[in-house]
Structure 1
Amino acid sequence: DADALAVLSDRSPSASPPGPTVLATPNLGEYRRWFQGTAEPTADEVSDRARLRGLTLLVKGATDWLSDGPRTVRNDHHHRAMTVGGMGDVLDGVLGGLLSQGIEPWVAGRLALYWVGEAGARAERHKGFGLLASDVIEEIPRSAIEALDGAPGTQA
């Protein structure tokens, strides 16, 4: 949320970090304002900023970046039809649900990015480019179940 990012941006980078359980999810515009940047983020940049701030950072855009400092991943697993209002809220809702279950931010970020990306691809196949964020929400349970069915240790 932009207001929460404003509070974090007022903190000096040398201030005591908020802790590893904090997950910041700026979109690209918010990220640029927070860090006074104009260029596309890079893996090293996102990693450094997450490490220096002492939090997990998920930058949302055409390419998403997730980093907790030592670990950084790039995510291109979404469909161009997903560039509609509310998609960031969908991702943040999935993240909130996972975090509320005690899942660490890094793992929650990986799961949410994949599940929402898969749900977006499914919704696009059914709705085409006219899809809404609510269409993606409807596909999230199927995407999560399908992903978990193929995970090691989940086969009956």
Structure 2
Amino acid sequence: MLWRRKVEPYTRPFVYAWFRMTRGLTLGVRGLVTDDEGRVLMIQHTYVPGWYLPGGGVERGEIAETSLVREMQEEAGVRVIGRPTLLSVHSNEPRHPGDHVLFYRVHAWEPCEAAEQGEIHEIGWFHPDGLPSDVTDATRQRIAEALKGAAIDPMW
């Protein structure tokens, strides 16, 4: 088996490429931010209807937490202070094959200027019991899991 150790450095790029083609995976992050009144921060995108928790895709070479911090600042004008807490991991397979979403809670933050470039239509703060009617089911479920102790659904 010593031969495997010798050829592995040369075959690794091909094996990784094969895994990427046959086991494609994308990763996203979403964050729950609340204010002093217990209201939840939500956003509306310009390209899809409804209200969502801020977040987005993890870029190649980026740490998931770093992605969340970046997305919070870009989309919502929230500067994360300290480390967010990972609450749950979800499969988004029915809507996006191979996609998973990490759901975080942001405990400490301060307002800052958003750096988004036309992606966000509106930012709003809503009481968990008074969410807009066009909040996605997945968003409602994550809020219930984080703030009301609902059972965690592994599906986004």
What TM bracket, shorter-length normalisation? under 0.3
State the structure with more CA Rg: 2
Greater share of residues in helix: 1
Greater share of residues in strand: 2
If asked which structure has higher relative contact order (CA below 8 Å, sep 6+), I would say 2
